[in-house]
Structure 1
């Protein structure tokens, strides 16, 4: 087990032997959480004059933000999705897609941003460390709605805040002792706090399954895939979150496990489309309560 995956186990699935480390790091967690709370309380918010909906979470790792953004953005026209572009090999502002036309490869966009662009043929997707610059570009190109991917910590932007919570949280502490980006009570600053299995649920489907598959994935907290794995998975290979794949490495994994195909997520697949290898895919969509969309619609209409 790599150091990264051992640390992720402490964050998401702590065992008794993790707690001495958790307690040792707790003073740093309190300092970090206090700083994040301070900046949230005293932030001066900028109103960009356009409805902005933020999809975020309080914990590191996946909580369904990307499929939620896709589900939400697909309901509107003239929408721009803005993300930081984690894992990309570029810097600054990059247009990933413009009204559905893909403009850059995955190395420049990052895996999640390209997945959103491919899934949203009517939307524009922009990645930038500077969200203000990206919002200005999107509005200049005629966007009527901005969706901020992972935007809860952008406390200086006036927006409608949606927080997604996983079904279960096993470690209640802020980083580095736990997975929380802020103190857990900071969720009171959100307009909507949506809990998995109560307000939304995952719908998993599969494509091109084989009898013998090896799971290869580069996502945070990969054990969260376990409840959704189909029959036929004979091995699991975990890479660092957002890691890129090499064809030779994947060929070696197929041979080592004597597998008929690689089982990957859609986020992984966008980084191996040119390899011409046998691939099986897990596809994730969210079933979201209609009243959630109605509340978002009311905010958007009030802002226009």
Structure 2
């Protein structure tokens, strides 16, 4: 952190540019499409839980007989141009082309929810609107994407990030200051696997609907995508590795299952694994005396057949006062989901 503190002058320039960019939207118009758009975003660079919440929202909308589609940039993917994972896609493109998060979203939703991948989210939205006719869009990592009109803006706040001073990029991990939350409609405090002890810090608007979110391990993904119960790994010695923004949260998740982490190795967020990386992981696992090698679902997807002997922990979000969350979300949406009508009938 001391090294990054030396970048404070650049953070000042970043903030000036950010404020000019946001101010410009007082005179510019975002593209509005024909169906509602729910944005899931954050204020920090990675590790807040946007993708798990995106999957959660899509699953719940399907249960409510509402057809969602997901829009995602495809950060750090190797493919270029717009790419689409449709409900009738027969051959899914390689993860290198789609990016790890898009692939995870599509697979977790069993191909029932189309995913548009591309920098210009308004363009991918128009294509999916014509091709798939969704009832609404979920815009993953969309809070800073001002070009597409968003009907509901959900912002996730990683509670762990509040333990450190708010420093903007590149001196810190914050993409925007806390004052940007005035643009949000719903705030979600993500406690992950931490005890819910943190209070609301200064600078967070208390007149916004606020909810608490945490993670729970719901299963283990084994080779050939076979699902096992969490009890399968309880008490086992494990070697953990991942390329994610918050490895400490992953370790806490593993420990919460009752397994013993005897060794670990971590890489930068969205890391693409080389054969050399895998050899290091295998050697580290053997030296630690681990019985299993385990990673995240996002990382396992990137390994493909090379990860045939590796397990992945499945983690899902849980929202406190879930019923209240959905009541507010449905009130903010400019249409009434079909299931809501049936429930009130």
The verdict on a shared fold, with TM-score over 0.5 as the criterion, is yes
Task: Give the corresponding residue for 2:283.
Answer: 255
- Cα deviation code 1:238-288 (max 9, x no counterpart): 112111223553244223341333210111111123125422322111112
Cα 1:216/1:179, change in 2 over 3 Å: same
State the shift of 1:24 in Å. Answer: 4.4
Unaligned runs of 5+ in 1: 1-9, 11-16
The structural deviation recorded for 1:145 is 0.8
Q: Residue 252 of structure 2 aligns with which residue?
A: 227
1:201 has 2:214 as partner:
yes
Give the SS at the match of 1:161. strand
Partner of 2:298: 267
1:1-304 correspondence runs (5 A): 10=1, 17=2, 20-21=5-6, 23-76=8-61, 77-98=66-87, 103-121=92-110, 122-141=112-131, 142-159=133-150, 160-168=152-160, 169=162, 170-197=164-191, 198-207=211-220, 209=233, 211-230=236-255, 231-247=259-275, 249-258=277-286, 259-288=290-319, 289-302=322-335
How far apart are the structure 2 equivalents of 1:274 and 1:86?
A: 23
Would you say the 8 A contact 1:56–1:150 is kept in 2?
yes
Alpha-carbon distance, 1:181 to partner: 1.3
Q: Is the 8 A contact 2:263 2:285 kept in 1?
A: yes
Structure 1 residues 88 and 50 mapped into 2: Cα distance closer, same or farther (>3 Å)?
Answer: same
- Is the Cα contact below 8 Å between 2:239 and 2:294 reproduced in 1? yes
Equivalent position of 1:5 in the other structure:
none
User: Are the structure 2 counterparts of residues 51 and 26 from structure 1 closer, same or farther at C-alpha, using a change threshold of 3 Å?
Assistant: closer
* CA distance, structure 1, for counterparts of residue 292 and residue 214 of structure 2: 28
Contact 2:244 2:270 in 1 (8 A): yes
SS of the aligned residue for 2:333 comes to helix
Give 1:303 deviation, angstroms: 7.5
Residues 303 and 133 of structure 1, relative CA distance in 2, 3 Å threshold: farther
TM-score, L = length of structure 2: 0.76
For these two proteins, the number of residue pairs brought into alignment is 289
In structure 2, C-alpha distance between the alignment counterparts of 1:189 and 1:92, rounded to whole Å: 30
Deviation at 1:100, TM superposition (A): 7.4
| Structure 1 residues 245 and 227, CA gap change in structure 2 (3 angstroms) | same
Deviation of 1:42 (Å): 3.7
Partner-residue secondary structure (3-state), 2:101: helix
C-alpha distance in 2 between matches for 1:40 and 1:213: 49
RMSD (CA atoms): 2.4
Change in 2 beyond 3 A, CA 1:99/1:64: farther
Give, in whole Å, the separation in 2 of the partners of 1:138 and 1:237. 39
Shift, 1:228, TM fit: 1.9
Q: Deviations over 1:175-231 (max 9, x none)?
A: 122222122201111111221244221112452537332211111232332322323
Query: Runs of 4 or more off by more than 6 Å in structure 1?
Result: none
- 1:183–1:32 distance in 2 versus 1, CA, 3 Å: farther
Structure number with the bigger relative contact order (C-alpha 8 A, sep ≥ 6) is 1
Higher alpha-carbon deviation: 251-260 or 237-246: 251-260
> 1:212 touches 1:260 (CA, 8 Å); kept in 2?
yes
